[in-house]
């Protein structure tokens, strides 16, 4: 599944913001810009911004969501948002330092 570049997103993998992405906080959330693809993206609220910014500090995207206060009911929406960011290469998988939960 993790090799599928489509809509699938592995919440149980380790992720981080791509090195070539700049994140600018705005009243509505944030703007993201990828210097390599020259594409813009939006984060539509402060929670998704907190998730994205903390991805690199968590072993999995799921734990980043939990730490930002995303409950089970809201999780699918955040998974979709993260999948969109992964598709546009704003975030990328990072090597797992230890065994990933699944």
Contact footprint for other proteins (CB under 8 A): 20, 22, 24-28, 31, 33, 35-36, 38-45, 48, 77, 81, 84-85, 88
- 19 vs 98 by CB, closer to other proteins: 19
In this complex, which beta carbon is closest to other proteins, that of residue 38 or of residue 102? 38
**Would you say 26 or 96 has its CB closer to other proteins?**
26
Cα 101 to Cα 10, 21, 52, 56, 61: the distances in Å are 11, 27, 19, 16, 11
């Amino acid at each position: 599944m993790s090799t599928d570049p489509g809509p699938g997103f592995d919440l149980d993998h380790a992720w981080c913001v791509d090195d070539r992405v700049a994140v600018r906080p705005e009243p509505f959330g944030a703007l993201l810009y990828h210097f390599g693809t020259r594409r813009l993206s939006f984060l539509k609220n402060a929670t998704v911004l907190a998730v994205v910014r903390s991805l690199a500090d968590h072993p999995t995207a799921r734990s980043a969501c939990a730490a930002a206060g995303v409950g089970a009911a809201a999780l699918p929406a955040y998974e979709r948002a993260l999948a969109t960011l992964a598709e546009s290469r704003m975030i990328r998988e990072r090597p797992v330092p230890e065994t990933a939960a699944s």
